[in-house]
């Protein structure tokens, strides 16, 4: 009944995307100070558990049930009602529906976890639990439905192969709003405390991204292979571009620059991975390395305390990726492209739709997140106290420490 090759591929892809969340925990954990490692790690791992509960209860239904052209789905498939092990994925009938449910769940898990790097060391755990819950319901689920659930933006002709708008731009703008709300850290953080931990986290993210982008084709074909290769090429070009740019401007080639550049390239190629040629993937990587580097430099100059550069890497990277998609999407790679990119013979219509969509959604994510944090603060304090910052959040909030003092 099902295509065994595509089913196996999608099971592996879902596993790879799942691995990205622990990878993110290691990546972020290495970037903060020793006394705050566990706090930022638990935020990623909690999303792994809690988002799964929400996804099973009603998240999947809100994303992928309901009529065409809407903003949000309905609850007809809450608790996966009406499905069984023999149900086929409605998109291509090649894989079981349960595989698609699991694959999309992994995206829902990691997206809000990305935001946590922006407000590192400053947010109390009860507030984070509410933040995670409401952000999924009012931001992530509607975005998935509108773009991947045949909703409003899909009907309008907007493309996003694996999450430039749905994942990276939305998380990046939410991160920036979080930074403005919680303000600067009161205690100087000497992080990163462990670059080897950051390197291991980056390796897991890069490895998992093959499932993130390649798996978004949802079957085994030439488009999946193109997305797979485009992912690695863009990440590599972005990594070396960032390294050499930092080497010129900062006088030394730094590992953290190479690692950050690779993540910027991965985020930027995500929306275009299955729609552009390999040559344009390389160009996207170079552009990502340059623009994201200067976005982070601008953030530092403006003294925005985006602790782990979520806005500069994911927010800016996702937005650039959508713009580049509008320029270079081609039917030669993917027949699903109805109107080709502006630089490959298409009209300005598709290009403008991509730009309008990413800008409008970015604005919504920013303002909703800021207002949501203010409301959450009425229920439970969002910000940690100065005493908790001085002690370290691992000890003061969670009663644990990552490293015993000698």
Tens digits of residue pLDDT in 250-285: 999 999 999 999 999 999 999 999 999 999 999 999
Predicted confidence band at 372 (pLDDT cuts at 50, 70, 90)?
very high
User: What's the whole-number average pLDDT of the chain?
Assistant: 96
Q: Which of 397, 399, 379 is nearest to 388 (CA)?
A: 397
Task: Give 180-217 pLDDT, tens digit per residue.
Answer: 999 999 887 777 999 999 999 999 999 999 999 999 99
Specify burial of residue 241 (Cβ count, 10 A radius: 0-12, 13-18, 19+).
buried
Q: What is the pLDDT of residue 329?
A: 97
Q: What is the pLDDT of residue 406?
A: 53
Specify burial of residue 87 (Cβ count, 10 A radius: 0-12, 13-18, 19+).
middle
CA atoms within 13 A on the CB side of 229: 12
Max CA pair span of the chain: 65
Range 158-174 average pLDDT: 98
CATH class of 4-398: mainly alpha
How far, in Å, CA of 369 to CA of 176, rounded?
9
How far, in Å, CA of 37 to CA of 404, rounded?
13
How far, in Å, CA of 243 to CA of 262, rounded?
10
Q: What is the pLDDT of residue 1?
A: 81
Predicted confidence band at 342 (pLDDT cuts at 50, 70, 90)?
very high
How far, in Å, CA of 168 to CA of 393, rounded?
27
Range 34-55 average pLDDT: 97
Range 106-120 average pLDDT: 97
Q: What is the pLDDT of residue 191?
A: 74
Q: Which of 87, 115, 98 is nearest to 55 (CA)?
A: 98
Range 63-90 average pLDDT: 94
Range 278-307 average pLDDT: 97
Range 169-182 average pLDDT: 97
Q: What is the pLDDT of residue 118?
A: 96
Q: What are phi and psi of 383, to 5 degrees?
A: -90, 145
């Amino acid at each position: 009944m099902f295509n065994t090759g595509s089913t196996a591929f999608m099971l592996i892809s879902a596993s790879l995307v799942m691995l990205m969340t622990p990878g993110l925990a290691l990546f972020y954990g290495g970037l903060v100070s020793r006394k705050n490692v566990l706090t930022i790690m638990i935020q990623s791992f909690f999303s792994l558990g809690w988002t799964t509960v929400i996804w099973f209860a009603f998240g999947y239904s809100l994303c992928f049930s309901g009529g065409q052209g809407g903003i949000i789905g309905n609850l007809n498939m809450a608790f996966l009602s009406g499905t069984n092990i023999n149900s086929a994925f409605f998109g291509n009938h090649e894989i079981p529906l349960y595989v698609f449910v699991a694959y999309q769940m992994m995206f829902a898990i990691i997206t809000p976890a990305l935001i946590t790097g922006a407000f590192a060391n400053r947010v109390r755990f009860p507030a984070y639990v509410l933040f995670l819950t409401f952000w999924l319901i009012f931001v992530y689920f509607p975005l998935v439905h509108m773009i991947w659930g045949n909703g409003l933006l899909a009907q309008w002709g907007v493309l996003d192969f694996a999450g430039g708008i749905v994942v990276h731009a939305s998380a990046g703008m939410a991160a920036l709003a979080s930074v403005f709300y919680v303000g600067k850290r009161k205690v100087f953080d000497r992080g990163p405390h462990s670059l080897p931990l950051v390197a291991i986290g980056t390796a897991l993210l890069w490895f998992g991204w093959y499932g993130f982008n390649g798996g978004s084709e949802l079957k085994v074909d030439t488009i999946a292979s193109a997305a797979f290769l485009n992912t690695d090429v863009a990440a590599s070009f972005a990594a070396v571009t960032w390294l050499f740019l930092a080497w010129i401007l900062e006088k030394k080639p730094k590992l953290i620059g190479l690692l950050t550049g690779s993540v910027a390239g991965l985020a930027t190629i995500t929306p275009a991975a299955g729609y552009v040629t390999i040559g344009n993937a390389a160009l996207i990587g170079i552009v990502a390395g340059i623009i994201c580097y200067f976005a982070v430099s601008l953030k530092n100059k403006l003294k925005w305390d985006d602790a782990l550069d979520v806005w500069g890497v994911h927010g800016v990277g996702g937005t650039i990726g959508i713009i580049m998609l509008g320029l270079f999407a081609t039917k030669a790679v993917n027949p699903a492209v109805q109107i080709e990119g502006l630089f490959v013979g298409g009209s300005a219509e598709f290009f403008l739709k991509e730009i309008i969509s990413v800008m409008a959604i970015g604005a919504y994510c920013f303002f909703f997140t800021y207002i949501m944090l203010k409301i959450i603060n009425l229920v439970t304090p969002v910000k940690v106290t100065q005493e908790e910052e001085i002690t370290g959040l691992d000890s003061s909030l969670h009663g644990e420490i990552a490293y015993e003092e000698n």
